A and B are shown apart, each in its own frame.
Chain A
Amino acid sequence: MALVKIENIKKTFSGIEVLKGISFSLDAGKQYVIRGPSGSGKSTLFYLLGGLDRPTSGNIFIDGLNLYAMNDDELANFRNQFVGFVFQFHFLLSSMNCLDNILLPAKIGNHNILEVEKFALSNAQILGVEHCLKKFPYELSGGEQQRINVIRALSLRPKLILCDEPTGSLDSKNSQIVVGLLKEMAAKYASTLVVVTHDDYIASQFQNHFALNDGQLMK
């Protein structure tokens, strides 16, 4: 069953068409990789899928909802409830400790903090970073930071996990660990996992592939 349905998406920046009419669908609970070289439009597609930007034309349906028929408030709520983001540069706030970073989506969406904290603690034990929770991000290694980032992305048990170059700043050993964890956790919570990368090795870890080139989807 399709969780995400993309219909003829186009995106133009200053007269340059970055996405040139893309259509595809993603099934619920499956894991996908979107490959492509720099400038192919994969990051733009990532932000459109995550409701962070609006397309110039076309529609994206997620769980039957037309994403861009929503107003800003509804879209923000959608991002909070429905999507877990994992960014390339970890994107942990240095002003707060790791636990507070993990709890941030729960605080923004007014969720039950205690419940999320319990969930975060159990995942931190699974990912081997429970000792990091009271530490600040700058006290952690790159691999540990990315694992905290993964826990935060999963904290509200989203239906869709979007990862933008999740291993881009990690060495190969940590890259393998993080990709492995992402796949494992997504499978555990039946979330649809979409990883955007230009790394062929990371891409090879996934069965379902989409390739982007010059704003077009390559079969």
Chain B
Amino acid sequence: MFNILKSIGKLIYKDKVSLKFALGVLFGLGFSIAVILCTIGIMDGFSITLKRGLKKSSADIILFSHTGFFKYDQNLKNIFSSLNVGETGPAIKTQGFLTAGEVAKGVEVNGIELESFNKTTGMHLNIARDEIAIGTVLAKQLNLKSGDLLSLALPKGNQSFSSLPLIKEFKVGEIIDHGIYQKNLRLVYLQLPILQTLLGVDDSINLIYLNHAKSKNSSLESPIYAKRVKNLRILLHRELGEEYRIRPYWAEFASLLEVVEIEKLIIGLILQMVVVISIFNVLAFVIFINEKKAKELFLYKALGLSQKRLIKVWFWVILSIWAAGSLLSILLVKIFNYMLQSFSLFLLPGDIYHLGRLNIILGYTEYTLVFGLTLAWLFIVSWLAIIRLKKSLLANLRREFS
């Protein structure tokens, strides 16, 4: 079969017109597959980058108390250790106003224990007691750099509504990038004891960052990891009851992530049409060769090539085009991703899209699914052309040999 395939291949590529047609078909198929891969890849990239950004400043799970502040006591610690919880990080999250010069911004103030926070999240914060860490977007908007002074206005907890807001001056200790626009605009970090003192809540906290014991070496994209987090959340909820709100790190953007997932499926299905259209080009190519090289193909038949084997040859030709088109699509995806990462034309308004740039991220599942579906379409549609080929062979045989 390989010898026949090789010699029929020569028939095609030694003829300039056929070769140009073949290259056109190949590029068309490769481009169509690349369009689907890029679309799915951008959506996956969006979800994954968003999740990575969310995880960077969070643990697997965040636990809040419905009643406000609470103590991180031994009872809670015992429950966590019995439920496969790994590192934990007590913290306070509250609202505040940050003023620099004449500009003020509403911010989310996080009081953190540096060591436990850095362990539970992907952050590497190192701020002194009189320092504050702010996000890159906030720093840019307020024109702040490390060492600059700013004022933070905080409510005085729930203890007394009559109290005036507390205003405290801090030095910018670090400017950090969360990977998410909104977080870079809104989040600021102080040492937990400082915030506890300012709020007058003693050693109380209002949230705990929790990691699953096995999450350290897990990939964020792994379904096993997501399942573990979901299971841990269920177990915690079962154990702690309604007193606590337990949210996975992606909860903040859960609806958006869900919408992206559904859109990915729908657009993936719609874009199948692009592939089907390019498959018709492949069929046109098969029919063109069958007509243009009719004499040559009938010589093969006269010399003993059966109809079955000729059909097999066509399927191998189609399979080769599919394989080459798939490889070409991978190359096109890489080129497009490079452009997305490199050219300012592709910068996104972060306040709308949360992320500054899109990144194409594709796993083996996506490649297998897209290539597999293309192959399936190719075989389904080409079957029709092959049947037509079979019917026309005898008629052409008479025409060519008479």
Q: Which residues of A contact B (CB under 8 A)?
A: 13, 43-44, 47, 50, 52-53, 72-73, 75-77, 79-81, 85, 87, 91, 93-96, 100, 104-105, 107-109, 164
In the complex the two chains form, is B402's CB within 8 Å of A95's CB?
A: no
| The stretch of B72-80, B245-253, B303-311, B323-331 that contacts the partner chain | B303-311
Query: For residue A82, which residue of chain B has the nearest CB?
Result: B304
Do A108 and B307 contact each other (CB < 8 Å), given the known contacts A53-B394, A91-B295? no
A52–B394 CA distance with the chains assembled, in angstroms: 9
| The one of B7, B15, B295, B401 that contacts A47, using a Cβ cutoff of 8 Å | B401
Query: For residue A88, which residue of chain B has the nearest CB?
Result: B401
Query: For residue B393, which residue of chain A has the nearest CB?
Result: A72
Interchain nearest-CB distance for A211 vs B (Å): 20
| The one of B10, B295, B302, B309 that contacts A96, using a Cβ cutoff of 8 Å | B10
A104–B3 CA distance with the chains assembled, in angstroms: 9
The answer to the question of B300 belonging to the interface, with a C-beta cut-off of 8 Å to chain A, is yes
A75–B15 CA distance with the chains assembled, in angstroms: 30
Interchain nearest-CB distance for A56 vs B (Å): 13
Interface hub of A53, A79, A107 (most chain B Cβ within 10 A) = A107
Q: Looking at chain A's contact residues, is the secondary structure mostly helix, strand, loop, or mixed?
A: helix
A72–B304 CA distance with the chains assembled, in angstroms: 10
A104–B7 CA distance with the chains assembled, in angstroms: 9
A76–B4 CA distance with the chains assembled, in angstroms: 14
In the complex the two chains form, is A108's CB within 8 Å of B402's CB?
A: no
Interchain nearest-CB distance for A142 vs B (Å): 17
In the complex the two chains form, is A93's CB within 8 Å of B11's CB?
A: yes
In the complex the two chains form, is B308's CB within 8 Å of A108's CB?
A: no
Q: Which of the four size classes fits the interface of chain B?
A: 20 to 34
In the complex the two chains form, is B303's CB within 8 Å of A108's CB?
A: yes
Q: For the complex of A and B, list the 6 residue pairs with the smallest distance between their C-beta atoms, beginning with the closest.
A: A80-B304, A76-B306, A95-B14, A107-B3, A95-B10, A105-B303
- 13 extra A-B contacts, CB within 8 A, seeds A43-B401, A50-B302: A53-B398, A73-B307, A77-B304, A79-B303, A79-B304, A80-B303, A81-B304, A91-B295, A93-B299, A95-B11, A96-B10, A107-B4, A108-B4
Interchain nearest-CB distance for B290 vs A (Å): 16
Interchain nearest-CB distance for B392 vs A (Å): 14
In the complex the two chains form, is A109's CB within 8 Å of B401's CB?
A: no
In the complex the two chains form, is B305's CB within 8 Å of A76's CB?
A: yes
Q: Provide the residues of chain A in CB contact with B302, threshold 8 Å.
A: 50, 52, 79, 85
Query: For residue A110, which residue of chain B has the nearest CB?
Result: B3
Q: Provide the residues of chain B in CB contact with A79, threshold 8 Å.
A: 301-304
Residue pairs across A and B with Cβ atoms less than 8 A apart, 20 shown, are A43-B401, A47-B397, A50-B302, A52-B302, A52-B401, A72-B307, A76-B307, A77-B306, A79-B302, A79-B303, A79-B304, A80-B304, A94-B14, A95-B296, A96-B10, A104-B300, A107-B4, A108-B4, A108-B300, A109-B304
